[in-house]
Amino acid sequence: MQKLLFLFLVLISTYSSIYSQQKALTNNQTAFDVLFIGNSLTYTNNLPELVKEYAISKNIAITTNMIAFPNYSIQDHWNDGQVQKLISSKTYDFVIIQQGPSSQPDGRNMLINYGKKYTRLCKLIEAKLCYFMVWPSLHYYYTFDGVIKNHTDAAAINNSILLPVGTAWKAYSDTAKNNEYYGDDGFHPSLKGSEIAAKVIVDHLLKQ
């Protein structure tokens, strides 16, 4: 009986040691595959490349892939059918979805309802879905709180990662009293705006 108890304790100890090692390996991961799905707010200034560059400064290697078209929503991408094939064909660690500001009810519903579809697909490859929170144009700056709320709610409802670029953007713009994160058209990001977006994205991905 004592021998059996001893063997049982040895097995438990061995399993715990292996589990701890596996967990440590996961937590110490230094290379990630990331898929960006979005529109011109993502491809302007080549945000994925800026993400890769900033990650290097953190000693992290990020490989990126991007599917982004002008004025596209996550619903448009889903209806095209390309994202389903792309996600299913490769094992990504993170899938980042982005659409317009989405401060209005239609945009909110799209973030939530289509986010559910992306979430189900990501689970099949054990990837984590991420919401890239953007910003409104200067003309509609007053809708910023709605942008923040709808992205925050959608991420929470779909148990996804929130990348609060818009929150950081608004905090800086309100405090500094300037609009240097905006490009000349008052909507697309300046290079500095995209660099800040890259920093927020990487910092929040590495927290996971």
User: pTM of the predicted model, to two decimals?
Assistant: 0.86
pLDDT at 6: 35
Percentage, residues of the chain above pLDDT 90: 83
Q: Which domains does the chain have, with CATH numbers?
A: 30-205 (3.40.50.1110)
Question: Residues 6 or more apart from 121 whose CB is under 8 A from it?
Answer: 84, 87, 88
pLDDT at 27: 55
Among positive and negative, which fits the CA dihedral 37, 95, 83, 100?
Answer: negative
DSSP string covering 123-180: HHTT-EEEEE-----GGGGGGHHHHHHHHHHHHHHTT-EEE-HHHHHHHHHHHHT--T
Residue-wise pLDDT tens digits, 59-103? 999 999 999 999 999 999 999 999 999 999 888 999 999 999 999
